[in-house]
Structure 1
């Protein structure tokens, strides 16, 4: 799945008011955290995740692992907060073409 720039813009607008549903802390990215991210994506399609990492490289590694494990698309990254999108089996969000 690859999002166009207009679709990413649309999703960024929708995600603006959202609060992070998952916070990755000092214990890193375990199976429980990945399970919560997967459940949140299945239910909401568009989520924010706060990645509390000590440096940019570690934060990017955690984000890459989330993308690989969840089959989601990264919409935005601002500071420690990343926005992810994955369409559900019955999509609630209708993306523009």
Structure 2
């Protein structure tokens, strides 16, 4: 679970990123979750955009992606989701320490 300070840090890190996945009419499926998991392992932080032709609730899409990939939902702003998952082999992002 991320603290507010860590989420704020990750939002600033994600600001310049472009979405690399799109959730369209088909919604969230297992193949998409698998691809996002692999991308998170490589990048740790990524954006996913929800297309206008998707009829699902944006919060439900964001929650389904976060739970399916085991990632933390950093932000849902408009139709853009920011996900973070600490990488096992490609650790790049050092989060601010949580206060005890």
TM score, norm. by length of structure 1: 0.89
2-structure distance, mates of 1:34, 1:72 = 11
Stretches of 4+ aligned residues off by more than 6 angstroms? none
Write the distance in 2 (CA, Å) between the matches of 1:61 and 1:11: 21
Q: Distance in 1 between matches of 2:3 and 2:66?
A: 17
Aligned length: 94
For residue 92 of structure 1, what is the aligned residue in structure 2?
A: 92
Q: Structure 2: any 5+ residue segments left out of the alignment?
A: none
Aligned equivalents of 1:54, 1:79: Cα separation in 2 = 14
Instruction: Indicate the structure with greater helix content.
Output: 1
* SS of structure 2 residue aligned to 1:48: strand
Partner of 1:16: 15
